[in-house]
């Protein structure tokens, strides 16, 4: 692996987005830009990147960065800001005790940042009120792994995906959420046509593109599917008695429960909304295939019974002994780049550091002696949803949010926002200045961003990789570990937080993992505890446990030994439960939230990359066409979504892949990007009683047509202050901002209204415009020096010209006569083509270009499209869509 840890030509680092943990080679350019490519030598991705990773170079500019510390909106120096945070926390603790303060942290933090934050809260403040946004995506697998294996240990490695004969993807849209793993599976299928793929998901997602079988289960019924599978395997004599007898315990109780709740394939099929034939096909496939990997992700985890669902999956692997060997095992795909690292340092409120247990007095003693901590927390802290409810009730009075945006991402998000508003003291450290959460902070602390700091992350297969610095810090930004340590010092803990850099923190973290371990704890990286600065700088990716330097372990449990007191894996009897809230006459649909292909979290970084906004520029709801019938809900119109907790307005997409009775809405849009797309305001706050993970996949909602007086869009080279607009969404384009807008009242004078918004002054105005006042149609284009400066289109319905051709004009310095004639039509003159909505984000290939090529060149496959247009040949994320276009053309 090439490592040059200087601000020089090429630096090997890792992608800051999802839990795949791809290696990235960053190449800072002399002009200040950044080029990236996949790191061919990184064992997670072998050179591949998805659309988000490929666009990292577009996200590192200073636009939107938080550059200086602030107190109550006023710039101040670091000393004042740090003193303010330390004194407010000290004062609150003195008056109300350690449990009156809290940290809410993030899977975006590096391990070293996470380690010191956890050490400060649990060992020095003496509370366990530190929880992380990883609670929202993978705390159910953590709890399930502990129940089954006695430790939060992921048994598999990515190479098991290539060595499997059957891959079951349960609640995982890997094609969009873990794209590089999806690419690895796709390639494995090409090389091994015997590899079968089963997708279990209520929606027909892009992942189904490679599925031999798609089980479109009823939302929330996954545990029944796997309980039925367990019973079926036992009945069919597919158990592995040697493994079950020697390596597990509790099989009888689990099997008895499965027999009771899932007595026949037919009964399971009825409860899950499947045909008995399809379900039998899956069961037979699982039964006869030794090498089977079952992947689970948010679709399983984000449920009030997420922990049970994961255990229902693990039970099937334990019964068949399919764990700890190549090509098999239960496999949690984590959401965030360092969700696993956060688990390792104890970043969840119910954990201690180094995978030790907070309820275990021996573990508390071990950690306290290692840290020489004055005040160890002796009970679990508040999990994410409970934490914000405690803020609402006034029990928690001072909060520090690090690298996350809970005002958008927590369920019942309006209530969270209200809680933050009334909290006595809120500090936020972030690299972005304007988020829904920073808007509610008393103190803002500018954090170094990706590329500006050094540290480690751990991906879904337990692989620790380095993130490396290759850019100078923006403004006065500092690494999170430094900010935490400076606050700790000011709280009176100078000696314990006197690190000279992230390597020293990492060494301590590694040493703690081996401290009095004796092989009893799964997480042990003591082999890395004596790394020199150079060793740390050059650290190559390796999977834990790493008990001696150079020794890494691709998969766990090959020896049949687990971390339970008996050393045996535990079956867990699972009684499937219904979701917390069921649809009724008032709220007849089930809302399911998730991710889109090209965005990450609340778009604070991916929203800066024009090419990532092209595929889904607006928040949307997907519904089955038959559900929409007769409700005024038509493709492209606006839909108002209500639940008992909140509301949102989003664009409607009709999709036959959406299960009837359910609605999918992505979770990315915040108030920075839309007026009313914060879908987590609609999501119910119920959570799994064991893991605390919220039920993001199941909220009863009502969907009605939202019918404003007018609809429109604006493309503008500069950001605008919108006036008289009730619905808006902004997306960054190449050289312009795109606004989708709508209003409930028509302006009296459309031209005056348009000019008021689009013109800095009247002097430089060269308008081309069209007005039909009676029909509420207005079109205006503002030209400056022969180039388009902005354009605005208004109509009484959402039926407006496509934006793609007009958007392309913002890349031109002059327009010819024909193009000027086409301006108000919003479509190209004869001889020019509109590329249409962008499908391939990497090469900006539009849908019209693709469909024309399919028709004119008789292209029969995604590969053929790739050869003709390059679409789909870089990250491959759009390949499922290309295949759908080919199929649609037949
Ligand atoms: Fe980054 Fe994409 Fe790899 Fe995830 S799959 S780590 S988002 S490049």
> In this predicted model, what pLDDT tens digit does every residue of 33-70 receive, in sequence order?
899 999 999 999 999 999 999 999 999 999 999 999 99
- The yes-or-no verdict on residue 793 having pLDDT over 90 is yes
- The yes-or-no verdict on residue 322 having pLDDT over 80 is yes
Name the least confident of 105-119, 254-268, 834-848. Answer: 834-848
Instruction: State the average pLDDT over residues 152-161.
Output: 97
Q: First-to-last CA distance in the chain?
A: 46
What is the predicted pLDDT for the residue at 761?
67
Structure token digits, residue 471: 């850019």
- Does the beta carbon of 865 sit less than 6 angstroms from any atom of ligand 1? no
Percent of the chain with pLDDT over 70: 98
What is the predicted pLDDT for the residue at 408?
96
Pocket test for ligand 1, best of 180, 461, 595, 603 (most atoms within 8 A of CB): 180
Pocket test for ligand 1, best of 20, 39, 108, 451 (most atoms within 8 A of CB): 20
pLDDT (tens digit per residue) in 797-808: 999 999 999 999
Euclidean distance between CA atoms 337 and 110, whole angstroms: 9
Euclidean distance between CA atoms 295 and 281, whole angstroms: 18
Instruction: State the average pLDDT over residues 733-749.
Output: 95
Instruction: State the average pLDDT over residues 299-311.
Output: 97
841-880 in b/e form (b: 16+ CB < 10 A) is bbbbbbbbbbbebbeeeebeebebbbebbebbbbbbbbbb
Instruction: State the average pLDDT over residues 629-654.
Output: 96
Euclidean distance between CA atoms 443 and 82, whole angstroms: 9
pLDDT (tens digit per residue) in 542-578: 999 999 866 778 899 999 999 999 999 999 999 999 9
- Does the beta carbon of 496 sit less than 6 angstroms from any atom of ligand 1? no
pLDDT (tens digit per residue) in 345-375: 999 999 999 999 999 999 999 999 999 999 9
Task: Say which residue the tokens 């956060």 belong to.
Answer: 342
Give the CA dihedral 282, 287, 293, 298, nearest 10 degrees. 40
- The yes-or-no verdict on residue 726 having pLDDT over 70 is yes
- Does the beta carbon of 612 sit less than 6 angstroms from any atom of ligand 1? no
- Does the beta carbon of 503 sit less than 6 angstroms from any atom of ligand 1? no
Name the least confident of 703-717, 753-767, 849-863. Answer: 753-767
Q: Atom 3 (ligand 1): residue with closest C-alpha?
A: 22
Pocket test for ligand 1, best of 18, 176, 181, 595 (most atoms within 8 A of CB): 18
CA of 801 to the centre of ligand 1 (A): 34
- Does the beta carbon of 56 sit less than 6 angstroms from any atom of ligand 1? no
- Does the beta carbon of 21 sit less than 6 angstroms from any atom of ligand 1? yes
CA of 23 to the centre of ligand 1 (A): 9
What is the predicted pLDDT for the residue at 5?
43
What's the distance, CA 339 to chain centroid?
Answer: 11
Q: How many CB atoms lie within 10 A of CB 70?
A: 21
Euclidean distance between CA atoms 30 and 33, whole angstroms: 7
Task: Say which residue the tokens 């050059």 belong to.
Answer: 538
What is the predicted pLDDT for the residue at 548?
80
User: What residues does 329 pair with on adjacent strands?
Assistant: 293
What is the predicted pLDDT for the residue at 293?
98
User: What residues does 543 pair with on adjacent strands?
Assistant: 463
Q: How many CB atoms lie within 10 A of CB 2?
A: 11
CA of 680 to the centre of ligand 1 (A): 24
pLDDT (tens digit per residue) in 514-531: 999 999 999 999 999 999
What is the predicted pLDDT for the residue at 625?
97
What is the predicted pLDDT for the residue at 2?
40
Structure token digits, residue 594: 């998730």
Instruction: State the average pLDDT over residues 774-795.
Output: 92
Q: Are 135 and 693 in contact (CB under 8 A)?
A: yes
Which numbered atom of ligand 1 lies nearest the CA of 181?
5
Euclidean distance between CA atoms 498 and 488, whole angstroms: 9
CA of 52 to the centre of ligand 1 (A): 7
Percent of the chain with pLDDT over 90: 88
Q: Which helix (H) or strand (E) holds 743?
A: strand 736-743
Instruction: State the average pLDDT over residues 259-279.
Output: 98
Q: If you write DSSP's letter for every residue of 668-688 in order, what string do you get?
A: ---TTTBSS--GGGTS---B-
- Does the beta carbon of 49 sit less than 6 angstroms from any atom of ligand 1? yes
pLDDT (tens digit per residue) in 271-296: 999 999 999 999 999 999 999 999 99
- Does the beta carbon of 36 sit less than 6 angstroms from any atom of ligand 1? no
CA of 329 to the centre of ligand 1 (A): 23
CA of 116 to the centre of ligand 1 (A): 26
Pocket test for ligand 1, best of 36, 45, 48, 53 (most atoms within 8 A of CB): 53
Please state the φ and ψ torsions of residue 859, each to the nearest 5 degrees: -75, 135
Instruction: State the average pLDDT over residues 455-472.
Output: 97
Euclidean distance between CA atoms 227 and 233, whole angstroms: 10
- The yes-or-no verdict on residue 4 having pLDDT over 60 is no
Please state the φ and ψ torsions of residue 55, each to the nearest 5 degrees: -95, 10
Helices 222-235 and 251-261 cross at an angle (nearest 10°) of 110
User: What residues does 778 pair with on adjacent strands?
Assistant: 771, 794
- Does the beta carbon of 17 sit less than 6 angstroms from any atom of ligand 1? yes
CA angle, 400 then 404 then 409, to 5°: 115
Euclidean distance between CA atoms 64 and 68, whole angstroms: 12
CA of 598 to the centre of ligand 1 (A): 10
What is the predicted pLDDT for the residue at 764?
61
- Does the beta carbon of 28 sit less than 6 angstroms from any atom of ligand 1? no
What is the predicted pLDDT for the residue at 743?
97
- Does the beta carbon of 428 sit less than 6 angstroms from any atom of ligand 1? no
List of residues 6+ apart from 812 with CB closer than 8 A: 787, 788, 819
- The yes-or-no verdict on residue 423 having pLDDT over 70 is yes
CA of 39 to the centre of ligand 1 (A): 12
Instruction: State the average pLDDT over residues 632-636.
Output: 93
pLDDT (tens digit per residue) in 594-631: 999 999 899 989 999 998 988 899 999 999 999 999 88
What is the predicted pLDDT for the residue at 6?
42
- The yes-or-no verdict on residue 7 having pLDDT over 70 is no
What is the predicted pLDDT for the residue at 550?
65
- Does the beta carbon of 52 sit less than 6 angstroms from any atom of ligand 1? yes
- Does the beta carbon of 725 sit less than 6 angstroms from any atom of ligand 1? no
User: What band does 766 get if pLDDT is binned at 50, 70 and 90?
Assistant: confident
What is the predicted pLDDT for the residue at 549?
67
CA of 24 to the centre of ligand 1 (A): 9
- Does the beta carbon of 22 sit less than 6 angstroms from any atom of ligand 1? yes
Q: Atom 2 (ligand 1): residue with closest C-alpha?
A: 50
Q: What is the DSSP letter of 333?
A: -
Which numbered atom of ligand 1 lies nearest the CA of 178?
5
User: What band does 496 get if pLDDT is binned at 50, 70 and 90?
Assistant: very high
- Does the beta carbon of 179 sit less than 6 angstroms from any atom of ligand 1? yes
């Amino acid at each position: 692996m090439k490592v040059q840890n200087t601000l020089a030509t090429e630096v090997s680092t890792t992608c800051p987005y999802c839990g795949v943990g791809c290696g990235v080679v960053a190449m800072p350019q002399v002009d200040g830009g950044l080029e990236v490519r996949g790191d061919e030598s990184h064992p997670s991705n072998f050179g591949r990147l998805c659309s988000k990773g490929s666009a990292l170079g577009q996200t590192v500019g200073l636009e939107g960065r938080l550059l200086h510390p602030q107190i109550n909106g006023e710039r101040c120096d670091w000393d004042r800001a740090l003193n303010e945070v330390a004194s407010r926390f000290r004062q609150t603790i003195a008056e109300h005790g350690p449990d009156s303060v809290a940290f809410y942290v993030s899977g975006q933090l590096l391990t070293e940042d996470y380690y010191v934050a956890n050490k400060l809260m649990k060992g020095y403040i003496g509370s366990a009120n530190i929880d992380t946004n990883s609670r929202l995506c993978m705390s159910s697998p953590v709890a399930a792994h502990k129940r089954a294996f006695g430790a939060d240990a992921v048994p598999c490695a990515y190479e098991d995906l290539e060595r499997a004969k059957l891959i079951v993807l349960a609640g995982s849209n890997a094609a969009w959420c873990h794209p590089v793993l999806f690419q690895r599976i796709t390639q494995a299928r090409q090389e091994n046509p015997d590899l079968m793929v089963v997708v279990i998901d209520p929606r027909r997602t892009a992942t189904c593109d490679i599925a031999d079988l798609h089980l479109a289960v009823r939302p929330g019924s996954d545990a029944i599917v796997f309980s039925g599978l367990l019973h079926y395997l036992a009945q069919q004599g597919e158990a592995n008695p040697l493994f079950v007898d020697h390596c597990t315990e509790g099989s009888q109780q689990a099997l008895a429960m499965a027999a009771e709740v899932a007595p026949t394939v037919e009964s399971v099929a009825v409860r899950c909304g499947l045909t008995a034939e399809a379900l039998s096909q899956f069961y037979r496939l699982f039964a006869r295939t030794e090498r089977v990997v079952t992947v689970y992700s948010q679709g399983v985890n984000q449920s009030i019974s997420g922990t049970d669902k994961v255990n229902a999956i693990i039970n099937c692997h334990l019964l068949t002994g399919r764990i700890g060997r190549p090509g098999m095992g239960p496999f949690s795909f984590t959401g965030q780049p360092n969700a696993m690292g956060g688990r390792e340092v104890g970043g969840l409120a119910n954990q201690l550091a180094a995978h030790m247990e907070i309820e275990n007095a021996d573990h508390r003693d071990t950690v306290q002696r290692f840290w020489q901590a004055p005040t160890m927390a002796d009970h679990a802290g508040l999990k994410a949803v409970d934490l914000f409810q405690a803020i609402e009730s006034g029990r928690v009075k001072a909060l520090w949010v690090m690298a996350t945006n809970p005002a958008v991402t927590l369920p019942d998000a309006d209530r969270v926002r209200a809680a933050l508003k009334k909290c006595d003291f809120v500090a936020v450290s972030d690299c972005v200045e304007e988020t829904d959460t920073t808007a509610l902070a008393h103190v803002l602390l500018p954090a170094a961003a990706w590329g500006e700091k050094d540290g480690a992350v751990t991906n879904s297969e337990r692989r620790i990789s380095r993130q490396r610095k290759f850019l100078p810090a923006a403004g006065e930004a500092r690494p999170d570990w430094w900010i935490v340590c400076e606050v700790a010092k000011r709280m009176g803990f100078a000696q314990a937080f006197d690190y000279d850099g992230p390597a020293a923190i990492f060494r301590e973290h590694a040493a703690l993992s081996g401290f009095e371990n004796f092989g009893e704890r799964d997480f042990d990286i003591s082999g890395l505890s004596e790394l020199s600065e150079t060793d740390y700088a050059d650290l190559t990716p390796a999977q834990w446990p790493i008990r001696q330097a150079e020794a890494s372990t691709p998969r766990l449990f090959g020896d049949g030994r687990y971390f339970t007191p008996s050393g045996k894996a535990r079956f867990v009897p699972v009684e499937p439960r219904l979701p917390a809230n069921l649809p009724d006459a008032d709220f007849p649909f089930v809302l399911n939230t998730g991710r889109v292909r090209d965005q990450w979290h609340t778009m604070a970084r991916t929203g800066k990359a024009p090419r990532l906004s092209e595929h889904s520029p607006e928040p949307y709801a997907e519904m089955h066409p038959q559900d929409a019938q007769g409700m005024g809900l038509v493709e492209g119109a606006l839909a108002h979504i209500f639940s008992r907790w909140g509301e949102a307005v989003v664009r409607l997409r009709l999709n036959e892949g959406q299960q009837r009775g359910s609605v999918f809405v992505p979770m990315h849009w915040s108030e920075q990007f839309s007026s009313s797309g914060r879908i987590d305001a609609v999501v119910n706050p119920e959570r799994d009683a064991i893991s605390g993970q919220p039920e993001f996949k199941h909220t009863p909602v009502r969907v009605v047509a939202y019918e404003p007086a007018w609809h429109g869009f604006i493309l503008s080279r500069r950001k605008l202050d919108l006036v008289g607009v009730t619905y808006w969404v902004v997306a960054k384009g190449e050289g312009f901002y795109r606004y989708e807008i709508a209003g409930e009242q028509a302006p009296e004078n459309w031209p005056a209204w348009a000019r008021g918004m689009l013109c800095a002054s009247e002097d430089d105005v060269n308008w081309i415009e069209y007005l039909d006042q009676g029909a509420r149609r207005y079109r205006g284009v503002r030209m400056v020096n022969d180039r388009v400066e902005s354009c605005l289109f208004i109509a009484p319905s959402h039926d407006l010209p496509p934006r793609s051709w007009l958007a392309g004009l913002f890349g031109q310095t002059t327009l010819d006569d024909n193009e000027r004639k086409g301006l108000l039509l919003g479509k190209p003159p004869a001889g020019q083509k509109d590329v249409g909505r962008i499908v391939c984000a990497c090469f900006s290939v539009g849908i019209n270009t693709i469909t024309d090529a399919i028709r004119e060149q008789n292209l029969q496959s995604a590969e053929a499209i790739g050869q003709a247009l390059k679409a789909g040949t870089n990250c491959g994320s759009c390949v499922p869509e290309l295949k759908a276009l080919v199929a649609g053309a037949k």
